Structure 1
Amino acid sequence: MPQLDRVLSRIEAGAASQIVLEADTSIHCVTPSGLQPVSAQVLTRAQALALVHEMAGPDDKPAVAAGTGIRFLYRWNDKQWLVQQEADAPLRIRIRQWVDKPGPSDPNVPEGTRHLRRRASDKPFGSFENETTAREAIDRLLREQVRRGAADLHLRVGEPPILRLGGDLVRIEGESVLDDPTVSGMLWAIMPDKNKAEFDGNWDTDFAHEIADVSRFRVNVLRDRKGVAAVIRTIATGTVTVEQMGISPEVQQLCHLTKGLVLVTGPTGSGKSTTLCALVDLINRTRSDHIITIEDPIEFVHQSKKCLITQRQVGVHTQSFKSALRAALREDPDIVLVGELRDLETIAIALETAETGHLVFGTLHTSTAASTINRIVDQFPADRQDQIRVMLSESLKGVVSQTLCRKIGGGRVAAREILLVNKAVSALIREGKTVQIPNIIQTNRRLGMETLNDALLSLVRNKTIEAEEAFVRSVEKKEMAGKLKAMGYNLDGLTSEE
């Protein structure tokens, strides 16, 4: 029995998508978290070819022996597996499941189609006749999403299309239950070639899709236990303004800074991108500067007004956030927007950019101002954390942490915690005393600062949201429960669950 058969079981079980054999390294599998070693043994070129030679048929063994032009199908456990050598590497061989059951005259599968194509057919658009009909089907659902004002469209095998309306998931009446060929076909019709290849290797991918005169959409495609799935978010075709978003004058003042770091934070789906869009729009209307945005994908499209705006998408216009941010320093920027501060190196470059006379906007998935500072510091090794605290104390100018709440009568509204960095806050950051930051925010409301709990309580007083919603969205729930009870609200059911 070929030795690689035991590794093929990982792919069959869904734990990996490919086996990778290379000279002078160990056997690796491609998993959702990246390349993972299968064994500690480092293979020589001869050993790697020997493993493949065990799988090759008589007609394919000469190519394996020569180590060039290797491409054949191997049958194991009633399935076919494509064994293929990459042409642009000294020796790199990939093994993956062949799901389209090709005939003798069709030995090739277009790169990136394996997970999206119908398993029992060679039709690239699943149950649809062609790309046009598949695209029409998904665009019809997206038009309905926009017509009803839904934030998201969920496509799942075994469910009809589902919309997120006012924070709730609602199944679209009259729509059929989706199967895997239908979901795959619709997504394949709108997915760029680059993302098809990315999905094939990583099992998820993000891209933007646009319907002219309707809207733009952010698309995330993934796999779950039933097949291919997607979440598609509506992105407004036009920009929003700070007035429409209800952003306070004190936060608006951050847009007039010439240097420093401004962070907009919150959980996924909290409206961070929309808030950033409004801040960029304000700069675009009031300053004459060069704005560079680095996003994944580009969501709001800005037209240059008083400013010159350069928008770059990761994976399309640049390889990564960190490479684009490093390059931005040579592109004469005044303001740089980083869609997500994902890793240590990106954060470090952002801090350096803010220190060298540029205004930098960025986002993090944190829920409060204090946790935002801690998250940044904790990204770095212990021996660098004191230095980072000093850099943050000098560069950080403001943190806006927000969450979306259900409004009474429908719709959603943002509650925002606002930290504006002054000398007292800088000292706390430098000394690592972030636990005291909420007290500073509380005692400086006259300067425009506000805790998340106070923002939520204000929405309750104004009859914008229910008291129960404020309690659910609060981070400091014990404090929130006490204040709501003092206002006459009974939260016994909710607090007992906590």
Structure 2
Amino acid sequence: MSGMTRQQFDGLMTQVLDQHPEVADIIITTGKAIQAEVHGELKDAVTAPDLGRLSPLLTKAMALALMGENARLQKALASKGSCDLSYALPGKGRFRVNIFSQRGSLALVMRRLPSRIPSMEELGLPGAFRDMAVEKNGLILVTGGTGSGKSNSLAALIDRINETRAGHIVTLEDPVEFTHPHKKGTVNQRELGIDFDTFASGLRAAFRQGPKVILVGEIRDPETMEIALQAAGTGHLVLSTLHTTDAGATVNRILGLFSPSEERLVRMRLAESLRYVVSQRLLPREGGGRVAAFEVMKNTLRIKELILQGESGDKTFYGVLEQGAAFGMQTFDQHFLTLYEAGLVTEETALLSASDRSRLGQMIDTLKARRGDQSTSLVLEGLEEEPGAK
């Protein structure tokens, strides 16, 4: 099979979804069968006709079946080595697709998008999200690795704002993942490469579109961050994502986008405009599946001071978050402890994911002592720490 029609590709994907209804990702690459990722584990998908291990010709045919005659996608693939698009299989599901070249052949990763907008309650989002929905201006960032659920959280937040506020919402996405119907608010969704050419230019144009709320799919460069801060400082509520591991790292990443000569000014603008940073991670759930953990930072006076002055000695973002429960703040480690206490994750999972392993170990031991459990100082193979190390 050297060529493939869109219809044939749809037929293959239908079979994969029928076999693995809970699939999160579909991976198509040379030398392996079509792979379905379910709850973090890859499984071979069996199709008829049986394609076996895919040849470079076949993966290319599948990529072309998806790209069609789209010159923008072909140009991006040729010049940058990868391109993004959305793919819908009627009645089955929608996917965000990345097509990329690897070792001279093409590969595809298809990430499944939820068919409907999840609610904050379904996602188990912290209470801070309800407070975010009533913010009138400023910058809110949701951060985490690829596939940590940032898009879901932002979609739930936009949906809450859409339900409760009669304002204009503009989203700039790559690609559009959730379709937001007009509710109390009015939503216009724009897709990168189709409706605008870069996040920076799309964001600049948004100023002329009179939105109260702007969602920027991702901030990747200084120009986009500069305009986002400008928008946040002029009465707009700006929501976006960054690929950072925790709240403190997010502030440092933003500062790192700019030159040292601009740092002082950026610190001042960030201290003024930032409202919240929420970082999220997915952990293996005890008994199968995954569970989300959140770190929440609100821009209180103490956080403002850290943004302006930088961290030093005992003045750290981690320390302020740990003591900020009254403001709805929490560290990842505190949430891991809650998940462990609720029996949702194992002690080993919690410690492997910890930001400060010794600190979390102490909190778990305190919890065990309170319960009257044996305090097992769990030593993770190969992860023993030197005395005095974090």
Q: Partners in 2 of 1:197 and 1:465 — Cα distance? A: 45
Task: Classify the secondary structure of the residue corresponding to 1:453.
Answer: helix
Is 1:417 the counterpart of 2:295 in the alignment?
yes
Q: Distance in 2 between the 1:421 and 1:456 partners?
A: 22
In structure 2, the CA distance between the partners of 1:157 and 1:259, relative to structure 1 (3 Å rule), is same
The one-letter code matched in structure 1 to 2:238 is: V
- 1:135 maps to 2:9: yes
Q: Secondary structure at the match of 1:341?
A: coil
Q: Structure 1 residue aligned with 2:79, among 201, 224, 246? A: 201
Query: For structure 1, which segment, 155-164 or 345-354, has the greater mean C-alpha deviation from structure 2 after superposition?
Result: 155-164
5+ long unaligned stretches in structure 2:
369-374, 386-390
Cα displacement string for residues 460-486 of structure 1 (whole angstroms, at most 9, x for unaligned residues): 110111122212222323323443455
Is 2:166 aligned against 1:288? yes
- 1:190 matched to 2:63: no
- TM-score, length basis structure 1: 0.71
Contact kept, 8 Å, 2:14 with 2:92, in 1: the verdict is no
Deviation at 1:187, TM superposition (A): 1.9
1:361 aligns with 2:235: no
Per-residue deviation at 1:398?
0.5
Change (3 A) 1:186 1:349: same
Q: Please say if residues 292 and 337 of structure 1, whose CA atoms lie closer than 8 Å, have aligned partners that are also in contact.
A: yes
* 1:185 partner amino acid: A
| Equivalent-residue separation in structure 1 for 2:93 and 2:105 (angstroms) | 27
Aligned-residue identity in percent: 33
CA displacement 1:96-151 (0-9 Å, x = unmatched):
xxxxxxxxxxxxxxxxxxxxxxxxxxxxxx524x5145323443355347x52111
Aligned residues, how many? 371
Partner amino acid for 2:325?
A: R
Q: Which residue of 2 aligns with 1:167?
A: 40
Match of 1:429 among 307, 315, 322: 307
Distance 1:133 1:331, change over 3 A: closer
Instruction: Classify the secondary structure of the residue corresponding to 1:330.
Output: helix
Q: Are the aligned partners of 1:481 and 1:495 in contact in 2 as well (CA < 8 Å)?
A: no
Greater relative contact order, per chain length (Cα 8 Å cut-off, separation 6+) = 2
Q: C-alpha distance in 2, partners of 1:494/1:403?
A: 23
SS, match of residue 200 in structure 2? helix
Of residues 307-316 and 480-489 in structure 1, the stretch that sits farther from structure 2 once superposed is: 480-489
CA distance in 2, matches of 1:197, 1:250: 42
Q: Mark the CA change 1:273 to 1:240 in structure 2 (over 3 Å): closer, same or farther.
A: same
The letter of the residue matching 1:384 is E
CA contact (8 A) 2:340 2:346 kept: yes
Deviation at 1:249, TM superposition (A): 2.4
Distance 1:333 1:489, change over 3 A: farther
Q: Equivalent residue for 1:60?
A: none
Q: In 2, Cα distance between the equivalents of 1:268 and 1:196?
A: 24
What is the correspondence of 1:91-490 to structure 2 with a 5 Å cutoff?
127-128=2-3, 130-141=4-15, 143-144=17-18, 147-173=20-46, 176-192=52-68, 193=70, 194-225=72-103, 227-433=105-311, 436-486=316-366, 487=368, 488-489=375-376
Query: Structure 1 CA distance, aligned partners of 2:104 and 2:12?
Result: 19
CA shift in 2, pair 1:200/1:226, >3 Å:
closer
Pairwise CA distance, 1:265: 0.3
Q: 2: CA distance between counterparts of 1:384 and 1:142?
A: 51
Offset from partner CA, 1:363-387 (integer Å, 9 cap, x none): 0011111110011011111111100
Equivalent-residue separation in structure 1 for 2:272 and 2:59 (angstroms): 50
Would the aligned equivalents of 1:294 and 1:313 in 2 still touch at CA under 8 Å?
Answer: yes
One-letter amino acid matched to 1:470:
A
How far apart, in 2, do the equivalents of 1:411 and 1:144 lie?
Answer: 19
SS at match of 1:183: helix
Cα distance in 1 between the residues matched to 2:383 and 2:156: 39
Change (3 A) 1:368 1:137: same
1:497–1:153 CA distance, 2 compared to 1 (3 A): farther
Matches within 5 A, 1:33-44: none
Query: How many Å separate the matches in 1 of 2:376 and 2:146?
Result: 29
**Conserved? CA contact 1:237–1:301, under 8 Å:** no
Please identify, of 423-432 and 292-301, the stretch whose mean Cα deviation from structure 2 is larger.
Answer: 423-432
* Contact kept? 1:152, 1:232, Cα under 8 Å: yes
Q: Retained in 2: the 8 A contact 1:257–1:359?
A: yes
Q: Distance in 2 between matches of 1:288 and 1:142?
A: 41
Q: Quote how far apart the aligned CAs of 1:420 are.
A: 1.1
Matched-pair contact (CA < 8 Å) for 2:294–2:332: yes
Alignment of 1:492 with 2:379, yes or no, is: yes
Separation in structure 2 between the aligned mates of residue 489 and residue 200 of structure 1, nearest angstrom: 55
Residue identity opposite 1:182 in structure 2: L
- The structural deviation recorded for 1:248 is 2.4
